[in-house]
Structure 1
Amino acid sequence: MRTIKLGTSDLDVPVVAVGCMRINSLDSAQAQAFVGASMDAGATFFDHADIYGKGRCEEIFADAAQALGLRRDQMLLQSKCGIRQDVQTFDFSREHILASVDGILRRLKTDYLDVLLLHRPDTLVEPEEVAAAFDELESAGKVRHFGVSNQHPYQMELLKKYVRQPLVANQLQLGIAHTGMIDSGINVNMTNPPSVDHDGGILDYCRLNDVTIQPWSPFQFGFFEGVFLDNPKFPELNAEIDRVAATHGVSNTTIAIAWLLRHPARMQPVTGTMNVERLRDCARAAEVTLSREDWYGIYRAAGNKLP
């Protein structure tokens, strides 16, 4: 699979990342088949979080990788921390970040993470504590690169005032049916609803600062309301996606990921499927380049009007 640089780092990453949030729905044989198929497709970047399956997802993945005999240098591992589901808080304290990473490393059976993201903004964040945690993790060799998830430009700027390490990625919800950060940039100087900027210009901010956007839930509409592909709620969108898919000889799944990859922000979509064939379809998007006309045609078919 073709690769891109992750942010300003020297890390070459596949353009499609494999999300492991639902790997706990698989038994051990299925998990091995899934991880093996990912590796075979060149999708060697695996995204985790300490809260996925209350930690079981990381353990299941590690067991599958070990059973397959995969070497650590064959994989790129990313995980996230900062959400404390047990007490329903966000926590970017130094103590919590350090403890979380130790737990992540233990469950993933590894000595280091290639990337650690802070998961959801903590409004009580003390950026000096984040900086101290990052310094300790880097000097101990436990984390090589750092980033954030679901953060606004000014939240990132606040961290950057204290944190020495580059923030190489920002994981944000984005897909054909969830395009707010794109809409506001198209409807500049308008008074219609799509002109409302809910994200602080995060798309342009990340492009200007060489931060890789990692779109999560790329097939969802709303906030976990469902998948738009083959959904009767979206007849025009699916008809257009199917038309484009037919011209390229690929599936609608492939086109949905290729649509994100066509954007010049050089994004790295994070899949969520546990279906091996669908994962392969996602990986095939790396080989498809949509025309400008097809990209905008799909955008319009999703219900977006150009001003």
Structure 2
Amino acid sequence: MKPIPFQKRGIQASQLVLGCMRLGGDWDDKSPITEQHYKEGQDALETALEIGINMFDHADIYTKGKAERVFGQLLKERPSLREQIILQSKCGIRFPQGTSPHQFDFSEKYILQSVDGILERLGTEYLDILLLHRPDPLVDPEEVASAIHQLKASGKVRHFGVSNMSHSQIKLLQTYSDEPFIANQLEMSLLKSGFVDTAITVNQEAARDNVFPEGTMEYCRLENIQLQSWGPLAQGYLSGRSLDGQPERVVNTAKLVEQMANEKDTTAEAIVLAWLMTHPAGIQPVIGTINPARIRSCKDATTLRLTRDEWYTLYTSALGRNLP
């Protein structure tokens, strides 16, 4: 099996990442973290480690910071674990506060302030990777570069990346920064296949409704940027979630996934993730569940690869139309 881009850079990250967005309970400022939340976090962490996951994905906004606090407590109870795992978090999204509206903020001050908060909540002295969460239309790339320089020099962040960005947005930031951007996290799944559609529908009418930025996959592959997928399990629609109200293409694809899983003596989750991981770009799925059973059901995806025929059969089924 080919190494993923992170591994080519010497970052020994697992091919699957556990997304920690669901840790800590509700997305509000009032609900406290409970013992049950810590128990859920511990069970998710232990199960992830059990199946070989050593990378964990956070963001400062997840459950209003409670996700990082839960994980920080787990690390406090097992301090030796910190050097055995890879911690990634994100910053740049600001929720409404007072008269300030919901916005994206890549100002130097906000990035530095955000990282200090992340480190405090996680109870660690450094992040392995910091991602800029969503593009800020008011970004000053020189400010971003200055923040990155300070974070690197202080040892607070070892590597940097982005999330939800096109190749041109990455190139703008990279032009001003000496530190390479080594990751780009985007929504990609069997039901969010714009990253494939973009390549196939060049000069086709079908390209009109595709929002995935053309050239981004190719740029990331050329620059050895790790592509990460958020939402890789397609919100569970292909692995057991109720299909009431779903279009025919989703219903048919769920049946096909189940059939393939039975034939290969594996799980639907493994088939859905394997579809992503069979792509030669070395996509790294960030699974968003903290349910131990569902985490375990993803294990086979790290060794399962689909044939070309199987891959295209799933793709065209989910697409719901013939290829041009």
**TM-score range for the pair, normalised by the shorter chain length:** over 0.9
| 1:4 is aligned to 2:4 | yes
The whole-number CA distance in structure 1 between the counterparts of 2:237 and 2:146 is 40
State the percentage of identical aligned residues: 41
Residue 2 of structure 1 deviates from its aligned partner by 9.2
Distance 1:117 1:304, change over 3 A: farther
Residue 207 of structure 1 deviates from its aligned partner by 1.2
Residue 290 of structure 1 deviates from its aligned partner by 0.9
The whole-number CA distance in structure 1 between the counterparts of 2:160 and 2:321 is 34
- 1:284 partner amino acid: D
Match of residue 177, structure 2, among 150, 153, 163? 163
The whole-number CA distance in structure 2 between the counterparts of 1:278 and 1:3 is 25
The CA RMSD over aligned residues, in Å, is 2.0
Identify the residue that residue 14 of structure 1 maps to in structure 2.
14
Indicate conservation of the 8 Å contact 1:172/1:216, yes or no.
Answer: yes
The more displaced of 83-92 and 41-50 is 83-92
Match of residue 278, structure 1, among 294, 298, 318? 294
Indicate conservation of the 8 Å contact 2:198/2:214, yes or no.
Answer: no
What is the CA deviation profile of residues 146-197 of structure 1, one whole-angstrom value per residue up to 9, with x for unaligned ones?
Answer: 0000001111110011011111000000100011121021122222246856
- 2:143 partner amino acid: E
The whole-number CA distance in structure 2 between the counterparts of 1:51 and 1:196 is 28
- 2:63 partner amino acid: G
Counterpart mapping for 1:148-227 below 5 A: 148-193=162-207, 196=210, 198-220=212-234, 227=237
| 1:116 is aligned to 2:133 | no
Indicate conservation of the 8 Å contact 1:61/1:108, yes or no.
Answer: yes
Indicate conservation of the 8 Å contact 1:183/1:195, yes or no.
Answer: no
- 1:137 partner amino acid: L
Identify the residue that residue 306 of structure 1 maps to in structure 2.
323
Indicate conservation of the 8 Å contact 2:90/2:131, yes or no.
Answer: yes
- 1:37 partner amino acid: T
The whole-number CA distance in structure 1 between the counterparts of 2:78 and 2:42 is 7
The whole-number CA distance in structure 2 between the counterparts of 1:159 and 1:146 is 11
- 2:313 partner amino acid: G
Indicate conservation of the 8 Å contact 2:75/2:123, yes or no.
Answer: no
Gaps of 5+ in 2: 26-35
Indicate conservation of the 8 Å contact 1:17/1:45, yes or no.
Answer: yes
What is the CA deviation profile of residues 225-250 of structure 1, one whole-angstrom value per residue up to 9, with x for unaligned ones?
Answer: x7343343222101111121112211
Match of residue 106, structure 1, among 104, 117, 120? 120
- 2:204 partner amino acid: M
What is the CA deviation profile of residues 68-110 of structure 1, one whole-angstrom value per residue up to 9, with x for unaligned ones?
Answer: 4542111100000000113311110110100100110010010
Residue 305 of structure 1 deviates from its aligned partner by 2.3
For residue 147 of structure 2, give the secondary structure of its aligned residue in structure 1. Answer: helix
For residue 42 of structure 1, give the secondary structure of its aligned residue in structure 2. Answer: coil
The whole-number CA distance in structure 2 between the counterparts of 1:254 and 1:146 is 29
Residue 5 of structure 1 deviates from its aligned partner by 3.7
The whole-number CA distance in structure 1 between the counterparts of 2:239 and 2:197 is 20
Indicate conservation of the 8 Å contact 1:173/1:217, yes or no.
Answer: yes
The whole-number CA distance in structure 2 between the counterparts of 1:99 and 1:22 is 23
TM-score where L is the length of structure 2? 0.88
Gaps of 5+ in 1: none
Residue 274 of structure 1 deviates from its aligned partner by 1.2
For residue 297 of structure 2, give the secondary structure of its aligned residue in structure 1. Answer: helix
Distance 1:297 1:195, change over 3 A: same
For residue 281 of structure 2, give the secondary structure of its aligned residue in structure 1. Answer: coil
Indicate conservation of the 8 Å contact 2:195/2:217, yes or no.
Answer: yes
| 1:89 is aligned to 2:99 | no
